[in-house]
Structure 1
Amino acid sequence: MKIPIVAYGDPVLRKKAVEISADYPNLGELISNMFETMYNASGVGLAAPQVGLSIRLFVIDLSDKDDPGYEDFKKVFINATIVEEKGVIWEFNEGCLSIPDIREDIKRLDTVTISYYDENWQLRNETYDGLGARAIQHEFDHIEGKLFIDKLSPLRRAMLKSRFDAIKKGAIDVDYKMKFPMASKRR
């Protein structure tokens, strides 16, 4: 089942998400629905706050990207914590399903070590670089209440203000179902 994606401006995107336990209600169904929602929106990652749930859960699928080593990278991250970020600063053009039609060059370190539980509640401690590290850092930011646009300069954010306001109001065209925090009732 596709879930509406919460748009920029909704307070849930700015909350630090809470940990969950293995008996979280309908967790398997939620994970499946998050993947379906992400694929429908042509995304590579989706965090629970983006579907209105302030819990520490995100999913990533990089398997169709041309990045060596990530051909079978379809993962579920539960209660994740970043252990270490290191390497060289790498600038890459990022976007976000909650902030449609805005893409910006964002600087991040190119290597990340993350500790998390997978969908079978197996504890994992893994290190990734390149696109995998970037996707993990982006989705991890969501469960910390941060957005990729927070990494932009104040001047650049000010230049994008009218576009942010349009997103909040739902005055944009998207190809997937969204929930806009300030949309008029006629939508």
Structure 2
Amino acid sequence: MNPSHAALGLTRRVLFRRTLQVAGAIAVWRVTPPAARTALATEVDSTSFALGARELSILEAVAETIVPSGGPFAVGAREVGLATRLDRLAQAQGPDVVQGLRGALWLVELGGGLSIGRAARFSSLSAEERERVLAALSTSRIALARDVFTGLKQLTVFGFYAAEASWPATGYDGPWVRGKESRA
């Protein structure tokens, strides 16, 4: 084993387990379970549910790169509170998904800059550089990097379109059938 890997506690077993966790998280995001619909339909506040503050800021940077403010729509990830919504969604899915999402976020944060020749954290890069990082991950020779990109992109886009605050900007009038209104 490489001495630097030993200092980090990175063994083949740990690497394999983390790879499986990331792959599992990506697989979960590709389906829309009832818990996801419930988690995204409820209002959220700025409290972190499953991710730490640093991980939430990485998720915000990823989400804002994929769905930028002033991009194709009048609102973006920041305006709909997307990172917090996705944090709540991850919590609803359980600890394995949370761990997989954390692994994916740290892969992008620590390894993303290297994909464009910069030794910098993803969240510290400019918007243009972050776009280049995600584009590089999407076409990487490493399958895990491509899978992480695909999973984060699908999660972000799903969360954005599911957020009621994005509906007017996207031209969606809402569901045809609404839930029962309370008669207070």
Common fold: TM-score over 0.5: no
Which protein is richer in strand relative to its size? 1
Which protein is richer in helix relative to its size? 2
Q: Give the TM-score taking structure 1 as reference length.
A: 0.24
Q: Give the TM-score taking structure 2 as reference length.
A: 0.24
